[in-house]
Amino acid sequence: MNSKRWWALAVFLVLLVVWAISSTKLESEKAQGNSTLLGYINGTDTLANATEVYREGSGQALALLKLEGVIMENSTDNPTLSSGYNHQVFLKQLENAFSRHDIKGIVLQVNSPGGGVYESDEIYNRIMELKAKYKKPLVVYMSQEAASGGYYVSMAADKIYANRNTLTGSIGVIIRTYNYQELADKIGVKDVTFKSGEQKDLLNPMRPVNEQEKAIMQSLVNESYGYFVDIVAKGRNMDRNQVLQLADGRIYSGTQAKNLGLVDYVGNLDQAIQGAADLTNTNNPKILLFKNPGPNFWSWFKSMRAPAFDLLGLKQQMEQELGPMLMYIAN
């Protein structure tokens, strides 16, 4: 065996030892309920505190956070499937920005088509709780897109700025599933299901959707839609019937949204920052940017242990498609 092969073997053994030690430690942390190592590995503790000076200033500090990508819990360790949004890190960033004594207000830049109903609602509620606890204002700036769940989250803001070309609105709920029955019939695949109740295989893709199932799913959509309408009515101080006239799922430009009362101002990020400075009576504020984390080393390392099939993301995609999910997302 030549020297290159010995070096390759040595590197492999080192990585194997690191993986074994970290896996053992991680399981121990899980069993003990200790979040320190988990937070480090997943980025929730260390990355949520990562800031850089976005703009120098002689006054007190404002935080700039960015909500970018599809708002969903990122359960995949595959970096090829990552949308760049990390739900737990973002929630922690919000908490850190509000709790820091040197930060007097928050500017949230939203660039998202929306996402999961649960995650969007969790962000909205977290912001409302933090605002009540720390008495700090939050201003939203909508950049390219702040639609559906992105708009839902923005309803927690004290003021909303949008670019004139921003795509926003899309107030509504969608749930989608697929039916494979005809394909299965063609290739000779038959479904065999044993269930404890009539609706246990709700939306089984191997048979047609029946009327009772349609009614069940529509009731879920209607319930979440009602929450959305109420949130908009409260956030924009509008009559609920007025919101209903606007909430048919369509998108609006920033200018249209301003004319309809869905945002406060048409402007740019600097104007949104100045708006937050005005709310906090801060002159020439220093702007601290909370940096968005990319895929971390641990995620990359775990993905390299997966079979090639998983590296392509096919298994993950198929598993996600099998489970319908309520979404606040622009379609």
Contact 109, 290 (CB under 8 A): no
* Token duo for residue 113: 């088509």
Q: How far apart are CA 161 and CA 78, in angstroms?
A: 35
Instruction: Tell me if residue 136 is catalytic.
Output: no
Q: How far apart are CA 161 and CA 155, in angstroms?
A: 12
From the list 112, 120, 143, 148, the catalytic residue is 148
Q: How far apart are CA 309 and CA 316, in angstroms?
A: 10
Helix runs in the chain, H state only: 3-32, 36-42, 87-99, 117-134, 149-154, 181-187, 211-235, 240-246, 254-260, 269-279, 297-304, 308-311, 314-322
Those residues whose C-beta lies under 8 Å from the C-beta of residue 103, and which sit 6 or more positions away, are 61, 62, 63, 97, 136, 288
Vertex 58: Cα angle to 56 and 61 (nearest 5): 70
Q: How far apart are CA 212 and CA 267, in angstroms?
A: 48
Contact 203, 264 (CB under 8 A): no
Under DSSP, is residue 31 helix (H, G, I), strand (E, B) or coil? helix
Instruction: Tell me if residue 75 is catalytic.
Output: no
Question: In the block, which residue shows the tokens 């009559």?
Answer: 239
Any idea what DSSP says for residue 199? T
From the list 25, 30, 195, 200, the catalytic residue is 200
Picking from 146, 155, 178, the residue whose alpha carbon sits closest to that of residue 68 is: 146
* Token duo for residue 49: 């505190």
Picking from 46, 237, 80, 68, the residue whose alpha carbon sits closest to that of residue 143 is: 68
Contact 292, 68 (CB under 8 A): yes
Helix (H) or strand (E) holding 144: strand 138-147
Measured in whole angstroms, how far is the alpha carbon of residue 199 from the centre of its chain?
30
Residue positions annotated with a catalytic role: 148, 200
